Every structure is written in structure tokens, then in C-alpha cells.
């Protein structure tokens, strides 16, 4: 992350785990002294297509006190398998949630390892989330709509031991949100 007060000379940067560890450490130092620049905002907008199909577009975000743009807009499709009455052209929303958790755990581990001098050689995970669809379907009001439980099995080859890997993983933003929840405000503009 390059900040306005930081000029990174690429020839002097130390890359670790494919991450520019020099830039990462300078960013951490910069944001430690500029808390107002650490207030990031991420966004997605979604358009329903038909039935089980919809598409999210991700293009802008707010970081380091300024509006920012991705190099191009990223699209994320959702669908359902035939068994859940879709056309199976993309993962379904709860599968995309698991994908987001899996990627956040990987990125968090790799970045924190880079910052603290640990080398990651391999990092894979398998996730499974259990859901009783009687909740979603409104069959039983005592059953929750979402996952009752998610299990993440991580396999890593690295200089970090299991305890250290657990510490690194625990810094994952998506893991934090899934474990502890967050406030979600819903505003609705309805037309007939």
C-alpha cells in the first residue's frame, strides 16, 4: 500500500510470500500515525437478472482518505444449482460467502506472515457450512436462516507453527464478521 508520505524504491523492497513486505511495514507505520486515513470503505452493487441469477459489480472503494478505483470493474455472478431451481452458472450466495471466508483467511495469513518475517510455502483450505433450510424456507420459525456452523480445515507448509498460524488467521476481517456479526442497515426504496 503506497501512501502519500512514502516513496517505495522497488529495488530496495523486500518481497516475502509474494507481498512487498517493505511497503506493508511502511503502510502499517504510516496508518499508526494517521488514524484518519485508516477508515476504509468497500462496496458492491447488485443487479437482479432473473430467477436465481444476479450479478454484483465492484469498482470503487475509499482508502487512505480518498476515493479509489479498481483497474477495472470486477463482476461476481450468483446462481443456484438445478436442485435449488437455478441454472447452475455460478456459485450460490452462501457458497460465495464461504469463498470470501476462504480467501480472507489465506490473504490475512500471507500478509501478516510477510510483515512478521514468516515464510508461507503452501496454504490451502477446505470449508463446509451446515445449514438447515427449514429456516430459510420459513418452515420452522425456531430454525435460523444462515449457517449453524462452519468448519475450516487449513493445510499449510510454512515457517509458522500451528499456534502461530492460528494467530495469523485470527486477524481475518471476514472471519471476525462471521464469528461476531456486524450491524447491517437496510434501506428500501420501493416502487410499484
28 binds a copy of itself (CB under 8 A): yes
- Among positions 6, 14, 65, 93, the unique one binding a copy of itself when judged by CB under 8 A: 93
78 binds a copy of itself (CB under 8 A): yes
85 binds a copy of itself (CB under 8 A): yes
5 binds a copy of itself (CB under 8 A): no
- Report how far apart, in Å, the C-alpha atoms of 98 and of each of 79, 89, 107, 135, 181 are: 15, 17, 14, 19, 15
68 binds a copy of itself (CB under 8 A): yes
172 binds a copy of itself (CB under 8 A): yes
What backbone phi and psi angles, to 5 degrees, belong to 101?
Answer: -65, -45
- For residue 91, give the 3-state DSSP assignment: coil
Interface with a copy of itself in residues 128-157 (CB under 8 A): 128-140, 144-157
11 binds a copy of itself (CB under 8 A): no
Q: Is the dihedral of CA 102, 107, 112, 114 positive or negative?
A: positive
| Minimal distance, residue 108 CB to a copy of itself, in Å | 7
14 binds a copy of itself (CB under 8 A): no
| Minimal distance, residue 55 CB to a copy of itself, in Å | 8
- The span from the CA of 82 to the CA of 116, in Å, is 46
Q: Angle at CA 90, nearest 5°, toward 181 and 133?
A: 50
What backbone phi and psi angles, to 5 degrees, belong to 58?
Answer: -125, 115
- Cβ proximity to a copy of itself: between 9 and 180 the closer is 180
166 binds a copy of itself (CB under 8 A): yes
84 binds a copy of itself (CB under 8 A): yes
| Minimal distance, residue 25 CB to a copy of itself, in Å | 10
Interface with a copy of itself in residues 38-67 (CB under 8 A): 38-48, 50-54, 56, 58, 61, 63-64
Q: Are 78 and 90 in contact (CB under 8 A)?
A: yes
113 binds a copy of itself (CB under 8 A): no
167: left (phi over 0), alpha (psi -120 to 50) or beta: alpha
Q: Are 91 and 79 in contact (CB under 8 A)?
A: yes
Amino acid at each position: 500500500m503506497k501512501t502519500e508520505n512514502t516513496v517505495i524504491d522497488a529495488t530496495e523492497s523486500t518481497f516475502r510470500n509474494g507481498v512487498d513486505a517493505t511497503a506493508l511495514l511502511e503502510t502499517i507505520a504510516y496508518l499508526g500515525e494517521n488514524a484518519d486515513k485508516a477508515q476504509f470503505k468497500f462496496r458492491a452493487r447488485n443487479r437482479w437478472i432473473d430467477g436465481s441469477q444476479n450479478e454484483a459489480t465492484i469498482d470503487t472503494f475509499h482508502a487512505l482518505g480518498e476515493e479509489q478505483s479498481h483497474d477495472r470493474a470486477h463482476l461476481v455472478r450468483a446462481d443456484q444449482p438445478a436442485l435449488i431451481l437455478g441454472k447452475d452458472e455460478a456459485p450460490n450466495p452462501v457458497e460465495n460467502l464461504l469463498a470470501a471466508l476462504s480467501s480472507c483467511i489465506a490473504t490475512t495469513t500471507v500478509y501478516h506472515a510477510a510483515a512478521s518475517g514468516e515464510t508461507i510455502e503452501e496454504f490451502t483450505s477446505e470449508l463446509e457450512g451446515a445449514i438447515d433450510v427449514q429456516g430459510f424456507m420459513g418452515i420452522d420459525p425456531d430454525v435460523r436462516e444462515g449457517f449453524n456452523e462452519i468448519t475450516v480445515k487449513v493445510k499449510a507448509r510454512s515457517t509458522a507453527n500451528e499456534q502461530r498460524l492460528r494467530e495469523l488467521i485470527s486477524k481475518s476481517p471476514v472471519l471476525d464478521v462471521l464469528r461476531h456479526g456486524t450491524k447491517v442497515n437496510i434501506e428500501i426504496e420501493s416502487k410499484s
